[in-house]
Amino acid sequence: MGCSYTALEIARILRRLESEVWIVFPKSRIEISIPPYREINYAEKEGVKFLFVTAPLDLKKEGEVYKIRLTKTMLSEKREIIPIPGTEFTLEVDYVIRAWGETTDDNFKNFGKLEECLEIKKNGFIKVGADLQTSVPGVFAGGDLVHGSKTVIHAVSSGRRAAGSIKYYLEEKKKPKHFITIKFDFSRGKRPEDIDSKFLELFPVAERSRLKERSPEERIKDFDEITIGLTEEEAIAEAKRCLNCGCLGIHKCEFREILIRENIPVTETIRRMKYPINREHPFIEVDLNKCIACQKCVRICPYSAIDFKIINKGTPYEYISFSFKDHCTNCGNCVDICPTGALVKKDLKVPYLRTEAKSVKSVCGYCGTGCNLTIWVKNGRILEITGADLPPNYGSLCVKGRFGFEYYKHKDRLKKPLLRKNLKEDFKEVDWDTALDYIAEKLLEFRDKYGPESIGFLTSSQISNEENYLLQKIARVIFKSNNVDCSVRVCHAPSVAGLAATVGTGAACAAFDEIFNTETLFLIGSDPLASHPIIAEKILKALDQGLKLIVADPIKIELADKAHLWLNLKPGTNVPLLNGIAYIILKEKLYNKEFVNKFTENFDKYMHYILSEWEPAIVERITGVKKVFIEQAAYIFATSKRGLILWGLGLTEHRSGSYGVMAAANLATLCGFWGKPGCGAMPLRGHCNVQGACDMGGLPYVLPGYQSYSDSFVKLKFQEVWGSSLPEKEGFTLNKMLEKAKARKMKAFYIIGYDIAMCHSNLKEVWKALENLNLLVIQDIFMPFTGNWAHIVLPAACIFEKEGTFTNGERRVQLFEKAIDPPGEALPDWEILIKLAKKLGYNWNYSSPSDIAEEIGKVWDAWKGLKYYRLKEIGIQWPCLDETHPGTSLLFTSGFPKGKIRLARPQYIPPLEEPAKEYPFVLITGKRLIHFRCGGKTRRIEEFKKLSPYPVVEINPQDAERCKISSGEWVKLKNSRGEVKVKVNINKRIPCGHLFTDYHFDNALINILVGPGEDEFAQTPEYKVVPVKIEKF
């Protein structure tokens, strides 16, 4: 009896119990008050019989059978149900179930005096006013007891309305006619009637994905789901049909907040779109219908990449013209500064309010600038990332920092430990105990059988300081081995070696903000627009304030267009160029005599060496830079009151990389540019924690804090804190480990977050070494290319899924907090290492990364004051000697670590291989703005893949014409070590006879072509001079 949801559910259950079922309802199908059409349809298909416009007259029970006398019905003019005479019939059934629906129950009036006073309407509902106040002052009501049976949404709406009315009641204020709540929203106006016909193509009609159903014959046999569901492809297609009915800019809409604060109602809104929604930008959607012409986007853009005009201003024909220029870097500063929903992020799928999301402090996991982030999280998912207003970025971010986070949820994430005992087997998923037991057993076996030198440990620039510290501690305490190295070996190891040999420490001497304090900036071997965009922003702002810029680079990078002087040297000739500039400074007596006399040693020998071997004519012949430009560079730099030298991998990745750093440090020393604001010489670190990996002892020749294990005091300190003796023998660098592995003297590698089979040089030789290992353990977030030779792969948490610290390129230690949980069984690296140590017999009781940080402070004085509670507020530059110490922005203000700076005599070591007839081009390898390292993260972000889907080689137009190739063609780069397929881009910035390409793609392993040449001191490969030829594909 009845056709409510309950009646239908009972009927369908009874059909599954093999009963014959009738549903009796006195009205027609279309007259049900809340018609459950879908459920009626399901029930009919499953064999439920419906008797609509039928009512019971009486019910009798005879024995075990019920006899119901029924009649057909009709509605009177007053909508009352009337039996139709002569239509009676009888139905015999086993059970009769009454399920008419809801009726009001006024028993609550008997609960007390207050309830008794409530006025009730004739239909049994409580009588309320427009503000939902009942007849009893101060008592409000809503929901089904006021308006009858409706949805939960109606009830929630009543609650919200009542809350607003109660507020005004308690404040004894009259509720305004227009009441704006915090939920005030702006419609996107995408209903069909709100869309002009000329914009219809923006909203293509897409057919709805229909859920597949099991057949009625099948489903009445059980109680399983009747719908099969959608495939992944169908679900995605269905989700893409959504028109995003809410404004995706609501969380940042200052305009909305002003309306709420000032209680200004929006009584009239644009009912028709005036402007089409523009989705041409890779990451940003533009809806000028919401633009208020504040032009904040124009003012914040560091590259002047927005074209904004108001046409016919002040007339009825006024309209806005907005577009992104071709040189837009996709940084997204504009979208976060926009105070309305005019600019919104495409990857932000749903509207949200800041109060509905959790904000998490974090640090960018890409380059070494160390930008501070705020991660906005809801329901365990990252909604978006914005820049935090802290140094060094002060809210600015590049394209990777703002939009490059979606890799965390990629299907390729490692979720369970993988094991195979030999390389011929396929990987099998195992539990953590099985994986760690196997690793511990094998490592201990190799240590005991072949000695500590048979095992190598590679730390990473992609894991935290605390995790780097733990891995080197495992190596040194448990295995008594100094065979610890990190990715600095292939980038800035020469910076560490060169600076340590001169000023006494291998870290940056100043903060990045000293760019604003310097008079002259000498930028050598770096393209910050591609590798360090926030540093590039600082340089551009400083140029507007009067900075003098000298750029030394074989390629005419974009900053060279704005430079006062561009020194277009040949690749690999940094040392001659810098020595040539020093020659002019010494010859013309432009150096700071007072500083040199007080703070340097070896000056006479250095001066004699420079003046006897590096006169400008020789330098011009070697470098290709004209003498007049060398002289200009010397005069500009030496006559400045403050000078700063910044360099990148174009200085370090050469056979004379360490000498190049020494030569740069010498220039700063001659001019007295140390220990003062706006002064110094420092590298631009390439990875988010390459500085920290070195700081934490990820090097084979020093302990954490660059402390020598041959120093008896240092040794005693570490032994007391670690409770263990230290290894005496110096460890192997990665290059030496690979040589030992090729000779089968190295048995095992433990590698975290470092894809050596893709990023090292002379790759085929690296692969031979990896093939000879008895055990290769990989710990990473994705399967790296090196995983092809791995025996065990451990799934690690990414930066968003754990807590720890990074140290950026200016020595700033910064805390990142956990935002979301890791996928599957993946764990933070520090937890994995603690579990491994336990399997190896060491029960290290660290409960959190902060415990590890406390221990770091005990072994290295520079970290003593770096406490997590302080780092939650702001990053601090080491050295920080106690908890009241503010950190040290500028080094050498009161002297140098060794007392004086040693002026080194930088030697020029030519490239191991020069271009010749067979291989006439010099290939220079480097970075693209849109990608990072080996591309493991960026190639897994959809929009990044669209912007840079394949490897590209850039060539000068004259060379392209001579080789008869054009942009977009596929070509092969070849030399004696192999060949690589790349696509051509003709670029006049590339000098004739040279090529430029990147190393981000695993289907184009550029480093196969890079030869065995390496830096004499640091063994960093010679990536920047690679002779090749180019052939049509």
Residue type, 684: L
993, 959 Cβ separation under 8 angstroms: yes
pLDDT at residue 200 in the model: 56
Q: How many other β-carbons are positioned within 10 Å of the β-carbon of residue 796?
A: 28
Q: How many other β-carbons are positioned within 10 Å of the β-carbon of residue 225?
A: 11
Residue 579's φ and ψ, nearest 5 degrees, are -65, -35
Among the listed residues 756, 767, 751, 783, the one whose alpha carbon sits nearest the alpha carbon of residue 939: 783
Radius of gyration of the chain from its Cα atoms, rounded to whole angstroms: 36
Helices 627-638 and 574-587, packing angle to 10 deg? 60
pLDDT at residue 273 in the model: 64
Identify the CATH number of the domain defined by range 509-683.
3.40.228.10
Averaged pLDDT, 52-65: 93
Which residue, chain included where needed, has tokens 């440090």? 665
927, 963 Cβ separation under 8 angstroms: no
DSSP one-letter code for 278: B
Task: Count CA atoms closer than 13 A to 1004's CA, side-chain side.
Answer: 21
Averaged pLDDT, 326-341: 94
Averaged pLDDT, 227-246: 77
Tell me the pLDDT band of 191, cut-offs 50, 70 and 90.
Answer: low
pLDDT at residue 186 in the model: 42
CA distance 288 to 311: 13
Q: Give one word for 374, left, alpha or beta, with left for phi > 0 and alpha for psi -120 to 50.
A: beta
Identify the CATH number of the domain defined by range 921-1032.
2.40.40.20
990, 921 Cβ separation under 8 angstroms: no
pLDDT at residue 813 in the model: 98
Name which residue leads in pLDDT, 854 or 241.
854
CA distance 309 to 291: 12
Tell me the pLDDT band of 442, cut-offs 50, 70 and 90.
Answer: very high
**pTM summary value:** 0.84
Residue 60's φ and ψ, nearest 5 degrees, are -130, 145
Task: Count CA atoms closer than 13 A to 805's CA, side-chain side.
Answer: 36
pLDDT higher than 50, residue 187: no
Average of per-residue pLDDT values in the chain: 92
pLDDT higher than 90, residue 173: no
Q: How many other β-carbons are positioned within 10 Å of the β-carbon of residue 911?
A: 21
> Checking DSSP bridges between strand 484-485 and strand 455-458, what pairing results, if any?
parallel
pLDDT higher than 90, residue 830: yes
**pLDDT over 90 percentage in the chain:** 79
pLDDT at residue 269 in the model: 53
Beta bridge partners of 954: 985, 996
pLDDT at residue 135 in the model: 92
Both tokens of 704, joined, read 């954490």
768-788 pLDDT, tens digit per residue, is: 999 999 999 999 999 999 999
Residue type, 359: S
Residue type, 870: R
911, 654 Cβ separation under 8 angstroms: yes
**Upstream peptide bond of 886 is cis (omega within 30 degrees of 0):** no
Tell me the pLDDT band of 683, cut-offs 50, 70 and 90.
Answer: very high
Least confident of 169-173, 181-185, 790-794, 824-828: 181-185
Burial of 415 (0-12, 13-18, 19+ CB in 10 A): middle
449-479 pLDDT, tens digit per residue, is: 999 999 999 999 999 999 999 999 999 999 9
pLDDT higher than 90, residue 798: yes
321, 286 Cβ separation under 8 angstroms: no
Both tokens of 442, joined, read 């094998």
Annotated domain spans of the chain: 5-93, 106-170, 204-239, 418-490+690-869, 509-683, 921-1032
Averaged pLDDT, 725-741: 94
Residue 1029's φ and ψ, nearest 5 degrees, are -120, 160
784, 841 Cβ separation under 8 angstroms: no
Least confident of 99-113, 777-791, 983-997: 99-113
Averaged pLDDT, 251-276: 72
Tell me the pLDDT band of 181, cut-offs 50, 70 and 90.
Answer: very low
Both tokens of 783, joined, read 């399967």
pLDDT at residue 768 in the model: 96
Both tokens of 904, joined, read 């080194």
pLDDT at residue 205 in the model: 66
Tell me the pLDDT band of 185, cut-offs 50, 70 and 90.
Answer: very low
CA distance 526 to 295: 32
Residue 928 DSSP SS3: coil
Among the listed residues 337, 390, 352, 333, the one whose alpha carbon sits nearest the alpha carbon of residue 816: 390
C-alpha dist (Å) from residue 326 to 548, 557, 715, 956: 27, 17, 58, 21
Q: Which residues contact 157 (CB under 8 A, 6 or more apart)?
A: none
pLDDT at residue 182 in the model: 40
Tell me the pLDDT band of 242, cut-offs 50, 70 and 90.
Answer: low
pLDDT at residue 183 in the model: 42
Q: Which residues contact 1006 (CB under 8 A, 6 or more apart)?
A: 925, 951, 973, 980, 997, 998, 999
Beta bridge partners of 1028: 921
Q: Does domain 418-490+690-869 have CATH number 3.30.420.300?
A: no
The whole-angstrom distance between residue 576's C-alpha and the CA centroid of its chain comes to 40
pLDDT at residue 115 in the model: 86
Homologous superfamily of the 5-93 domain (CATH): FAD/NAD(P)-binding domain (3.50.50.60)
CA distance 663 to 580: 10
